[in-house]
Amino acid sequence: MLCSSWGREYSNAHRSIRALSKRLCAIGLDTLRFDYYGAGDSGGETVDAQLDGWRADISTALSELKDMSGRPRIAVVGMRLGATLVAQSAQQLSIKADNIILWDPILCGSDYVDSLLDRQNRHDEKSSDPAVSGSSAVAADSELGGLLVSSSFVDGLSSIDLCSRRVMLPSRVLTIFTDGPHRDCEIGSLSKDSSEVATLKAPSPWKDSAEQEEGLPVEVIDRILKWLK
């Protein structure tokens, strides 16, 4: 099962997530990808979305995949926020995941929110034309990454700390980092015996297209397939 990121990252990475699902299907794995409530094609508005709800969506999707495929073993791949949500809820999932793959998880929520706000401010600054109107940024407090979100959603993002010992992970986890240097920390209770952390030189498909023109992250997809085989 594939768990995407959200907002711009979700849109930007849609092609790569689809490519991954096709590669997984090609080696005989039934694959489900879905949109969280209030995201993508799913029902609801973004402002009504909550991270608790999205963690529950992952459980619902897992049950659906199990029912539809009838497979005895399930692997879950999460990208960015999707990876973080999977890691946070690994012990509470409706179906036990035999394999978890975390693709560039968001480790520190406050840093992540800051980066979104910083980007928003830079965009507003770049877009505004002082000679035209002197207009200030349109974004209100509840607008994040161009989407209207609730304050509790922002609080939920800000409180992410994947390095906390409270994050309990199953025994077999592959963590992939591609996005340059990352904060040096161990994710939760990651078992060093049967888990692996890989740093790959590969494109980051969730970045804006202007920033990533390297094509599909083939190295990451190959690594995921190798791990699952």
C-alpha 4/C-alpha 81 separation (Å) is 7
CB 41 within 8 A of CB 34: no
C-alpha 66/C-alpha 172 separation (Å) is 19
Query: Which phi and psi (to 5°) does residue 61 adopt?
Result: -65, -40
C-alpha 94/C-alpha 58 separation (Å) is 9
Q: Is 58 in the site for other proteins (CB under 8 A)?
A: no
**How many angstroms from the chain centroid is the CA of residue 186?**
18
Q: Which stretch binds other proteins (CB under 8 A): 39-47, 62-70, 72-80, 99-107?
A: 39-47
Nearest CA to 175 among 191, 151, 160, 161?
191
Among 138, 180, 193, 229, binds other proteins (CB under 8 A): 138
Q: Which stretch binds other proteins (CB under 8 A): 64-72, 136-144, 164-172, 174-182?
A: 136-144
Q: Is 150 in the site for other proteins (CB under 8 A)?
A: no
C-alpha 82/C-alpha 90 separation (Å) is 12
Q: Is 213 in the site for other proteins (CB under 8 A)?
A: no
Q: Is 148 in the site for other proteins (CB under 8 A)?
A: yes
Q: Is 127 in the site for other proteins (CB under 8 A)?
A: yes
Among 99, 128, 158, 189, binds other proteins (CB under 8 A): 128
Nearer to other proteins, 137 or 185 (CB): 137
**What is the closest distance, in whole angstroms, from the C-beta atom of residue 59 to other proteins in the complex?**
23
Q: Which stretch binds other proteins (CB under 8 A): 40-48, 68-76, 102-110, 158-166?
A: 40-48
**How many angstroms from the chain centroid is the CA of residue 127?**
28
CB 141 within 8 A of CB 155: no
Which residues bind to other proteins, rule: CB under 8 A?
7-8, 11, 14-15, 18, 39-41, 43, 45-46, 123, 126-133, 135, 138-139, 143, 145-148, 209
